[in-house]
Amino acid sequence: MEKLVTKKHAGQKVLIFTQFADTVEFLAGELKRRGIARAAGVTGQSPDVVELACRFSPVSNSHQIQSDKPELRC
């Protein structure tokens, strides 16, 4: 997964789908631990799914990025 994000799709946005929330949390933690910036994990229990979607795709959501909450890449 790290090579897909850092090498094969470097500079591109990446969505990773999984069925289980535990897997989402594990993957998001591993991406951050490995220095992948601007990554977030989203589940049905996430506090603000809309805000995260807007940060991932600000243009299509007519959303202005705030400096304290940067655009998400994965």
For residue 29, the model assigns a pLDDT of 92
70 — pLDDT class (breaks 50, 70, 90): confident
**For the chain, domain boundaries:** 2-56
φ, ψ (nearest 5 deg) of residue 18: -150, 160
b/e map 14-26, b = 16+ CB within 10 Å: beeeeeeeeebee
For residue 23, the model assigns a pLDDT of 95
24 — pLDDT class (breaks 50, 70, 90): very high
For residue range 25-62, list pLDDT tens digits in order: 999 999 989 988 788 888 888 888 888 888 888 878 78
Chain Cα centroid distance, residue 5: 11
Whole-prediction pTM value?
A: 0.72
Q: Hey, is 73 helix, strand or coil?
A: coil
